[in-house]
A and B are shown apart, each in its own frame.
Chain A
């Protein structure tokens, strides 16, 4: 059930008032303690001031909300009838054709579908996928999997691939990051060439970001960008492909689960590995 903005503000005010009261109590307790250092008093005072400032702002918001229309707090998108997020992400990955970062998928989804998929949601998506696979590996025709490091065959969780792809496409060898960057750029250009004006316009920014050789603010000539990307790709792709195919042969010797989700990563032992778990 949707709450009116003023109701939400009241709830937040109640919460912050409670925190403010508690902070004031702490401050007074410290004041009464002769052993409390100035640093502790200063920190407690700062906490009280911060909460007080927060209360003031919320009151101001509430004041205005009394006069303003209740339904002007951002764009609300109805979820009814939308495909599950994983399906959309799988489609995006397929269109881009290579393992890519959540950010690129997110930007691509906004540009091509007008759909907002915050990159921060991919972490939980990844975990849900793997758990679902472990429950029943055949439950779905394709899974969102991580890319696999050609050296060591461990997962690279931040790059998203599809289990439906051939193994070498999911592998990352020495030059693959660059190869995939160029391929993703070419996929963006291809989409731009066939899309309507809105999508073309929305793709300009990601294309500009990927075509790093262009000076800032330079006019985008899509044909020239494609030509340069293809030229660079031609010079590095073959060697990269050979590496990935060799790694794929090793990958196929592993269990099906490891083939998709990668081998457990190793941590080298020794004195140097006594990393303190603090920063």
Chain B
């Protein structure tokens, strides 16, 4: 292939490479240690046990539904925050960030306090036959609770950076509010939406603490991959082989999903 001219790289202090590589190693080495423990002989058998398959299916299903819910309610919230007065926006941003700093366990407890049978809301749900705790729906709710902030913050930043000039131009050209949203606001925030969806999905599929407390660990109903892995590690009489195999399966699955999402751009239409 013929060489093409390239711009000189931006000048950076070479020393930046040292902490940068340290950071990378810090992230990659534990994964390598994990992969090193994989027992390749039994790998296939371990990941195809009915329990593993059902946990993977449940994880993918709940994380996808949770991500979808996050997009449906999170993108509008992000746009509202981005276009709110700055005082209102900063309050809203803090509110949205709280679940991020809360230990997920505490989030699970909080969800249980709100929707559990001991609260008025929970009682009402019970009577309506819609008791939430320890159901698959509870898994999704726990995931939405911990993943939504990632999506909102990412999208809000993108919408705010895009500014209002293009929207005003669209309005001046006669576009209504919905057309402006669909053809200008959302496409301009596409990169932020994709990044938000990736973060949101990754957080949802890895969710453990809130799920454990609010949804429990019932195989086939609420036992997602992280809970299955935890159970495998703690399980009496079971070796670490299956646990590591499950972890690897989760890792690969998430990587595949993220690669697919990266190629996608919402709102791009002719």
Q: Do A and B come from one complex?
A: no
Residues of A with Cβ closer than 8 Å to B? none
Residues of B with Cβ closer than 8 Å to A? none
